[in-house]
Amino acid sequence: MLVIRRRAGESVLIGDEVEVRVTEIGSTRVKLCILAPKDVVVLRKEVKLTREANVAAAREAPADLTGLAARFRAKQER
């Protein structure tokens, strides 16, 4: 991990095409401006983790619902 100190208005370059600029610094937040080509995906980490969790849940849900439906039918047949 690389740690770099920057002030408002200063930037960090990632490769030749991505620039991360500090635009504002507050007491508890930092505002960043990310300049990147349109084909580079830029996401907040929590957004990516939420998407991954939703995809995993969607994969597991049908099996869980099938088992639940089978138990429900078995109960009704009694």
For residues 50 and 44, the answer to whether their CB atoms sit within 8 Å is no
User: Tens of pLDDT along 66-77?
Assistant: 777 777 787 777
Phi, psi dihedrals of residue 30, rounded to the nearest 5°: -125, 130
User: In angstroms, rounded to a whole number, what is the distance separating the alpha carbons of residues 24 and 4?
Assistant: 16
User: Tens of pLDDT along 4-53?
Assistant: 999 999 999 999 999 999 999 999 999 999 999 999 999 999 998 998 88
What number of helices (H) and strands (E) belong to the chain?
Answer: 1, 3
